[in-house]
Amino acid sequence: MLLSNTVAIITGGARGMGRGIALKFAEEGCSSVIADVLEAEAKKTVVEVTKRGREAVFVRCDVRDSRQIQNVVDQTISKFGKIDILVCCAGVGAHPTSIEDISEEEWDRVLDINLKGIFLFCKAVVPHMKERKSGKIINVVSLAARSPGNALIHYAASKGGAATFTVGLALEMAPFNVRVNAIHPGVVRTDMVADLAPVGVTDVDAFLKVLAKIVPMQRVGTPEDVASAALFLASDLSSYVTGDELVVGGGMPWSMPSEMVEKK
């Protein structure tokens, strides 16, 4: 197994890509601490991890709160004695909105969860990894970091910041054998799709079918697609990879139009 006897903290592990990563890691020998605000769904992830023969615990955590984050780190070390992997997958979407209609509160909400949350979690985990001279940090970002699209500047700004942060942290941590990389998912079938859809879109399946037509591979991604990329970055298969941005987009963004969906 690629992750035998390892321990990962996975933020946003209750559902979607985070859940997919937790299950993929479990199949490869990794126990997990699921840090999320969605208790019921997180506990389902814990059950599924244990079915795969690994330990898992849920610790409630709002990634905007450094005290809650430190609690997750402390509980992980107390239970497992170490942290081998940190996956920052917690995030929120944002409906396409003109800058004139983005409130200061909405700007802060998106940036705090998508960018500040990564900073705070990495800040809390780094001392432990530096001391052990070992660790892998994977930040699940977005293709929006490369191609902002139309009227998504608050979302894209949070993701662009996360991408730049990842590279900077990778350079700082390289001498300590701590590898830091980003994954840029493209169109992936998760609950967040509804958050990123234009206001008024209620049929998410139909919306995904439209999006699939602009993906060169002619399909939307799955959480398992992203989980496989995370497994590569978490394992020794990528032992000489740090500061990288792995795109999981089915050929995007190289063919991404300026507007993902035509206005009607």
Active site residue 240: no
Q: What is d(CA 153, CA 189) in angstroms, rounded to the nearest whole number?
A: 22
Question: Among 155, 181, 238, 242, which one carries the catalytic annotation?
Answer: 155
- CA 242, 191, 3: angle at the middle one, nearest 5? 35
In angstroms, the Cα distances linking 102 to 30, 34, 71, 195 are 41, 31, 33, 15
- CA 258, 90, 259: angle at the middle one, nearest 5? 10
Task: Report which secondary-structure segment, H or E, holds 60.
Answer: strand 56-60
Long-range interactions of 237-241: CB distance < 8 A, separation 24+: 237/2, 238/179, 238/181, 239/179, 241/179, 241/181
Q: Which of the residues are catalytic?
A: 155
